[in-house]
Structure 1
Amino acid sequence: MRLPVLPPVSPMLAKSVTTIPPGASYEPKWDGFRSIVFRDGDEVEFGSRNERPMTRYFPELVEAVKAQLPERCVIDGEIVVATKARLEFETLQLRLHPAASRVTLLSEQTPASFIAFDLLALGDEDYTGRPFTERRAALETALAGVTAPLHLTPVTTDLAVAQRWFTEFEGAGLDGVIAKPLDGVYEPDKRVMFKIKHERTADCVVAGYRVHKSGPDVVGSLLLGLYTDGGVLNSIGVIGSFPMTRRRELFEELQPLVTTFEEHPWNWAAHEAGERTPRKSEQSRWSVGKDLSFVPLRPERVVEVRYSQMEGDRIRHTAQFIRWRPDRTPESCTYSQLERPLKFQLSDIVPGLGEPADG
């Protein structure tokens, strides 16, 4: 490639804040794979946040880039999989498959979209040193004619509109708002933007743990559950961030609750019947070969956790520990306590997103 900005490039990052700051450019925070696309004629590369190429997993986007983007450009954005109703992150994760035949099939069955939101280079011009207002104006001009599966994210400088987006867009699977300084330059791998994400709490049952990679007597993560209206304990996510000293303490504290799978709600017979339970030898999509088996605990302890959003009946990201709740009974930890966001159509945010591309 002969571009003024060459791969690999670490994307510019955002720091978390609790409120939307005034005097910035605001845009939806997309929930997908962050990616910088590099195009030099027929050469196209999709880089990831960790600077590893993802090009082979999204052949439909490569073809769209060749057909629609400027001949030579570098654009920052997000790869998503969308339905008419919402973003589907779990489906997007499945796109990272090692087999070429499977990649081709998935590109047809669950096609991805690319949401563009920043410009790093166009032709021979390096835009990274220019203020965001200039980069955005140039990006709008460069992408004026694009159609699905390529899209340009909406932006606003109106704080009231950004606050409305924060509330409404969650119902379509977006997880907050990004605020960018109007005069800020593009700084790779620097947290110079701001992200405002949804934050909620829930009381959950601790139903098991996974051991830490450092040894069998150290807790790696706690498995969380919630009861359905029918009294079934569903696996909804994990807590995974503890200091090492606390991990060892947790191991000792939880030993009296260790039980057998036959006496546990997440037994293998129930799993075969289709209930939401962790698999005995489930493999992580992100770490091939990583054993995610767990130690079952009698579901007697309740913990309050902080989380950002749900995806289906599971917590989308790893939850954060707040405190133990000895005053709560496990049976009282149900889905009814969870706040459900308003429903919102993706096509109302970006026209054409989540709808089949022409042809």
Structure 2
Amino acid sequence: MFEGVPAALHPPVDLALAKAVESIPHGDVLSGGSVFEMKFDGFRAACFVGLRDVWLYSRQGKDLSRYFPDVLAAAGKQIPPGCVIDGELVVWSGDRLDFDALQLRLVTAKAALPALVHESPASLIAFDALAVAGNDIRGLPFRDRRTLLEELAREWVPPLNLSPVTKDRAVAETWLQEMPATGVEGILVKGEAQTYEPRRIWLKVKSRNVVDVVVAAVIGPATQPRGVVVGLPLHGRLRIVGRSGPLSARAGRDLARYLRPPQGKHPWPEKISERLLDRFTKECGKIRLTLVEPLVAEVSADVAWSGQAFRHSVRLVRVRPDLQPDEVSLPADFERE
């Protein structure tokens, strides 16, 4: 199995990761100078092309091969044996990425998968090469790995794509401002001289929006909340759409001044599934909420919206005591997704 792939790269393989930063850095903060790349909203995956077979593995080491026969077929035809490609699996719906359609690949019955593949074809957006022609190239600097990847991609056609890069920070800023409308999550920053290592060697800047939400519960006591649980009106009800990251002690104290016990019937239960707050968790237990009288707050959220919830934690910006919960509406951008 995995014949033709370097032994050190037989899957699963630990992939390079990125550390979150607040803004696109100035200057050459990473080895060899900065290269900027779009961060696509999809499934991170490594594509392994052997002498006879092709495989796709997730960042967590899960074999995704059977869910993406369209990508496998294209990779087998267009990528020579002995290559390992790092990239992002995505599904396009018109001119924007469709994460929900991508997720359907993992839950659709085997018999129904061919129809789904036909209706919502997937693509692989390649952004790095770990092996070429049977040789492990992780020890090469990024500039050289990129050159080899571009050579491999010279005659690619969809569903194989090469991720665009730029060395111009102004172009990267334009991408960060304009590309979220297509579902691009943000910008990755890489160093031209960096070798490929299975740790957080890159930087990432996520596009964020400030959104009015309803805070109707907190994690921890109301006198010192550790996090907020936020809701938006969906299908005629105030539904839980996410939670914040951990609040600082000061932020918790400031928020506590506005929290009051709920008056009358509350829209949410006191216990909810952990997966309702964190769709990426493997836990199946319950979380106890401290219910409060709903109030409006501004949160900073990245652009990843599933159609029903924020896919990542939000950041509490400020409470809006001047607004009433019934004044909060679903943002127009969310309604179109």
Give the one of 215, 224, 239 matched to 1:206: 215
Mapped partners of 2:283, 2:112: distance in 1: 19
Residue in structure 1 matched with residue 139 of structure 2 by the alignment: 129
Contact 1:97 1:103 in 2 (8 A): no
Give the one of 222, 231, 234 matched to 1:225: 231
Matched, 1:92 2:102: yes
Contact 1:258 1:296 in 2 (8 A): no
After TM superposition, the structure 1 = structure 2 runs for residues 13-52 of structure 1, keeping only pairs within 5 Å, are 13-21=17-25, 22=27, 23-52=33-62
Contact 1:259 1:297 in 2 (8 A): no
Mapped partners of 2:119, 2:240: distance in 1: 27
After TM superposition, the structure 1 = structure 2 runs for residues 168-247 of structure 1, keeping only pairs within 5 Å, are 168-188=178-198, 190-207=199-216, 223-226=229-232, 232-235=236-239, 237-242=241-246
Number of positions where the alignment pairs a residue of Structure 1 with one of Structure 2: 315
Matched, 1:321 2:326: no
SS at match of 1:166: helix
Deviations, residues 222-278 of structure 1 (Å, cap 9, x unaligned): 5433458xx9555362115347x99xx99xx98932765xx74x89xxxxxxxxxx9
Mapped partners of 2:278, 2:104: distance in 1: 11
After TM superposition, the structure 1 = structure 2 runs for residues 1-359 of structure 1, keeping only pairs within 5 Å, are 1-2=2-3, 3-4=5-6, 5-21=9-25, 22=27, 23-97=33-107, 99-188=109-198, 190-207=199-216, 223-226=229-232, 232-235=236-239, 237-242=241-246, 256-257=261-262, 260=265, 264=267, 290=284, 300-309=294-303, 311=305, 314-335=309-330
Moved more, 315-324 or 28-37: 315-324
SS at match of 2:71: helix
SS at match of 2:261: helix
Mapped partners of 1:15, 1:109: distance in 2: 35
Identity %: 35
Query: TM-score w.r.t. structure 1 length?
Result: 0.74
- Paired amino acid for 2:13: V
Contact 2:87 2:126 in 1 (8 A): yes
RMSD: 3.9
Shift of 1:18: 2.1
Segments of structure 1 that go 5 or more residues without pairing to the other structure are: 213-218, 268-277, 344-359
Whose RCO is larger (CA < 8 A, sep 6+)? 1
Mapped partners of 1:242, 1:168: distance in 2: 30
Segments of structure 2 that go 5 or more residues without pairing to the other structure are: 28-32
259 and 80 in structure 1: CA distance in 2 versus 1, 3 angstrom threshold? farther
Mapped partners of 1:42, 1:259: distance in 2: 65
Shift of 1:93: 1.4
Shift of 1:10: 1.6
Contact 1:41 1:66 in 2 (8 A): no
Shift of 1:329: 2.2
Shift of 1:132: 0.5
Shift of 1:296: 10
Query: TM-score w.r.t. structure 2 length?
Result: 0.78
